[in-house]
Amino acid sequence: MKKYLVLGVLFLLPLSMYIFFASGKDNFGRLPVLTKNIVEIDKFTSPDSDTIRLDNSITILGFFGNDPLENKVNAYNLAHKIYKKYRGFHDFQIVILQPESSEEASITLKENLSEIANTDRWKFVYGTSEEIKEVFNSLQSEYLLMPDNSSPYVFIVDKNRDLRGRNDDEDVGMLYGYDARDFAEINNKMDDDVKVILAEYRLELKKYKADREI
């Protein structure tokens, strides 16, 4: 019985992974690049004393403003539907750019998020309002940063610091970011697009390894 169980697991696990990676948008054609060369965030400080970067990471980038606890619903939507599912993938991170005055509230929010999943890949980093605006403006989206340095939209930034999104979205056409207030948009559109970009890099890594073995 144990032998059949092991054989069943060995058969079903690769099959389930194939179905997972085959269920995304456009059979994992590349997610369109909408803006190139997003400003690097190495000027921002981290409470862990680490320098957090966009380079060489697949980043969900957000802006929670002067009081991040006011955006806790947005954070919970992301944590449940994106972060919890994908935090195990190599080079994946969620980074929230925060004003320097918001550290205490950010720590509280991160503690609350830790009840959903380990927050080792969820980063709050801190900078001036000017630095936050510089990064936000470099996204070249159609959205506005609020006066309190917040935005309800979160963005997918690839390893080359390019903004990824949709140029043919059925509802809005150009989809630069995803409204974290909207559970359905995070659960459907953003989840699908994160799946696409992770699969894209996974396939590139497999091709790189195969080329090196030749």
Convert the pLDDT of each residue in 169-202 to its tens digit: 999 999 999 999 999 999 999 999 999 999 998 8
175 within a domain of the structure (yes/no): yes
The domain containing residue 190 runs over which residues? 32-213
6 within a domain of the structure (yes/no): no
Distance CA 151, CA 132 (A): 11
Beta strands 163-164; 58-64: pairing state: unpaired
Closest CA to 96 of 131, 67, 71, 125: 125
**83-105 pLDDT per residue, tens:** 999 999 989 999 999 999 999 99
Q: pTM of whole model > 0.85?
A: no
**End-to-end alpha carbon distance in the chain:** 41
What is the pLDDT, as a whole number, of residue 202?
A: 83
Distance CA 188, CA 199 (A): 17
131 within a domain of the structure (yes/no): yes
Q: Tell me if 105 sits within 8 A of 68, measured CB to CB.
A: yes
Over the chain, what HEC string results?
CHHHHHHHHHHHHHHHHHHHHHCCHHHHCCCCEEECCCCCCCCCECCCCCCCCCCCCEEEEEEECCCHHHHHHHHHHHHHHHHHHHCCCCCEEEEEEEEHHHHHHHHHHHHHHCCCCCCCCEEEEEECHHHHHHHHHHCCCCCCCCCCCEEEEEEEECCCCCEECEEEECCCEEECCEECCCHHHHHHHHHHHHHHHHHHHHHHHHHHHHHHHC
118 within a domain of the structure (yes/no): yes
Residues of the chain with pLDDT under 50: 18-28
What is the pLDDT, as a whole number, of residue 27?
A: 43
What total number of domains does the chain contain? 1
168 within a domain of the structure (yes/no): yes
27 within a domain of the structure (yes/no): no
What is the pLDDT, as a whole number, of residue 50?
A: 81
24 within a domain of the structure (yes/no): no
